[in-house]
Amino acid sequence: MSDHLFDAPKIPAIPVVGEDKSYPVGRIFCVGRNYAAHAAEMGNEVDRTAPFYFTKSPSAAEQSGATTPYPPGTQNYHYEMELVVAIGAPAFNVTAEMAWDAVYAYGCGLDMTRRDLQIAEREKKRPWDLGKDVEQSAILAPLTKAIDIGTIGAQKIQLELNGELKQNAMLSDMIWKVNEIISHLSGFYHLRPGDLIMTGTPAGVGPVVEGDRIDGTITGLSPISLTIGIAE
């Protein structure tokens, strides 16, 4: 094995509550339209035949508490508060019942989105990469091990923008449940430790401007925050 031509990109990693070692990020899968009220506010029907996905580059991962510059190419940068599932064991073609065994931990996440570009891409039936795979757009809070959370469903998921409540739902409002998503996704990918799944956002998404502060919470998990900096 020869040396690399240049320094290899650093693998992003997320802290884990109660652990000295961090969780290295492999892939970031994201579920679209997983809360009926959010699908409706975006003018979409919910497709209940199967979940659908887009991805963010692992290099888009950013720590909670960061200040990220307002990104280029958009006039409508949006927050999306989400439950993040961290895979901790290999899963390929697993049933929904078996899928729970693949979960290592949960965390709060922000799927920051160039909404104007995403909608333009959607209308032209093009991929969503410019809208979704934005640099520093996958904000990830410290993970909490699944064993410390228990059953997913009764937890509140909320987001405040500058102290004003904007998103407020229950994890039980998710159309596709955590185990159903893992089971479905495992029919297409060999899921493995390091893979993250952002499970979709509730209603109430909206734009940010320079200087805004986002605070997100999910009951029982480490909270998440983000400040929007000056455009570069």
By beta-carbon proximity to Mn ion, the closer residue of 111 and 195 is: 111
How many residues in the shown chain lie near Mn ion by CB under 5 A? 3
Could you give the CA distance from residue 140 to residue 61 in angstroms, rounded to a whole number?
7
Token pair, residue 65, equals: 């508490």
By beta-carbon proximity to Mn ion, the closer residue of 55 and 227 is: 55
User: Rounded to the nearest whole angstrom, what is the least distance from the CB of residue 112 to Mn ion in the complex?
Assistant: 9
Stretch of 78-86, 90-98, 149-157, 169-177 lying at the interface with Mn ion (CB under 5 A): 78-86
User: Rounded to the nearest whole angstrom, what is the least distance from the CB of residue 157 to Mn ion in the complex?
Assistant: 12
User: Rounded to the nearest whole angstrom, what is the least distance from the CB of residue 114 to Mn ion in the complex?
Assistant: 12
Residue choice 62, 80, 133, 215 for contact with Mn ion (CB under 5 A):
80
Task: Rule CB under 5 A: say whether 201 interacts with Mn ion.
Answer: yes
Beta strand 61-63 with 213-218 is: unpaired
Stretch of 14-22, 61-69, 72-80, 138-146 lying at the interface with Mn ion (CB under 5 A): 72-80
What sign does the dihedral 111-113-115-117 (CA atoms) show? negative
User: Rounded to the nearest whole angstrom, what is the least distance from the CB of residue 104 to Mn ion in the complex?
Assistant: 21
What sign does the dihedral 182-186-188-194 (CA atoms) show? positive
User: Rounded to the nearest whole angstrom, what is the least distance from the CB of residue 174 to Mn ion in the complex?
Assistant: 12
Q: How many other CB atoms sit within 10 Å of the CB of residue 136? A: 18
- Helix, strand, coil fractions of the chain, as percent rounded to 5: 20, 35, 45
Token pair, residue 155, equals: 């937890």
Residues contacting 217, CB < 8 A, separation 6+: 108, 156, 157, 158, 159, 223, 224
Residue nearest to Mn ion (CB): 111
By beta-carbon proximity to Mn ion, the closer residue of 29 and 104 is: 29
Task: Rule CB under 5 A: say whether 167 interacts with Mn ion.
Answer: no
User: Rounded to the nearest whole angstrom, what is the least distance from the CB of residue 210 to Mn ion in the complex?
Assistant: 22
Could you give the CA distance from residue 130 to residue 73 in angstroms, rounded to a whole number?
9
* Residues 83-112 interacting with Mn ion (rule: CB under 5 A): 111
**Site residues (vs Mn ion, CB under 5 A):** 80, 111, 201
